[in-house]
Amino acid sequence: MTISRQDSVLSLFLGAFLLTGCVMSEKYEAEKARGLNFQRLLAQEEKRTGELDSELKRVKREASELEARNRELTAQVQAVREQMARVNEEADAMREATALEKKAREELRRGSHPASKSKRAERNLLTQEADQLASKPEGVVAEGRTPTYHQVKPGETVFRLARKYGVQLEQVRKWNNLQDDLIEVGQKLIVGYE
C-alpha cells in the first residue's frame, strides 16, 4: 500500500504540476495575444501619426503660400488706394479748374468796365511771362531768375505740387515739359522761379 500511496501522491503532484502548466500556458497565450494586439494597435497609431504629420506639413506649406499671396494682394490694394487718391486729387483739380474757368468767363462777359480790362491785360502779361519762362531750358536763369526745384516724394502728384507752391497746374506741366500728370519718385521738377 505504500506503493499505491506513493503512486497516488506522485499522481497528485503530477496532476498539480500539469494543471499548473496548463494554467501557465493559458496565461502565456493570453499575454501573448494581448502583446500582439498591443503591437497591432501601436502600428495603427504610428501609421495615423505619419498621416497626420504629412497633413500638417501640407497645411503649413499651404499656409505659407496663402500668406505670400496675401502680402501680394495687400500691396496691390495699397497701390490701388494710392492711385485712387491721385485720381481723386486730379478730379478735384479738374473741378477747381472748371470753376475758375467759368468764373473767368463770367468776368469776361461782365468785363466792359476799365478795371476788368486792366485785369485782362495783367493776366495776359502774366501768361506771356510764364510762357517765356517755360521755354527756357531747365537750370537756366530766366530774366534774372533761377528755377526752384522740388524732388518728388511718394504719394505726391503734379496737382499737389501746384497747390503747395501756389502755381497753376498747367504752368508746372509747361515748366517741366510734361505731356501728362505722370511723375516718378525722385524726379526733380521746376515748381517756380525766384
Q: Where on the phi/psi map is residue 102: left (φ > 0), alpha (ψ -120 to 50), or beta?
A: alpha
Whether the pTM exceeds 0.85: the reply is no
DSSP state of 154: T
State yes or no: pLDDT of 62 exceeds 90: yes
CB atoms within 10 A of CB 159: 20
Q: How far apart are the first and last CA of the chain?
A: 146
Residue 81 identity (one-letter amino acid) = R
For residue 21 the three cell numbers come to 502548466
Give the model's confidence band at 128: pLDDT under 50 very low, under 70 low, under 90 confident, else very high.
low
State yes or no: pLDDT of 86 exceeds 50: yes
State yes or no: pLDDT of 28 exceeds 80: yes
Average pLDDT over residues 7-17: 74
State yes or no: pLDDT of 133 exceeds 70: no
158 in Cβ contact with 169 (< 8 Å) = yes
What residue spans of 111-139 are helical by DSSP H? 114-135
Parse the chain into domains and list their residue ranges. 2-110
- Using alpha carbons only, give the angle 187, 188, 189 rounded to the nearest 5 degrees: 115
Residue 26 identity (one-letter amino acid) = E
**How many whole angstroms separate alpha carbon 148 and alpha carbon 73?**
39
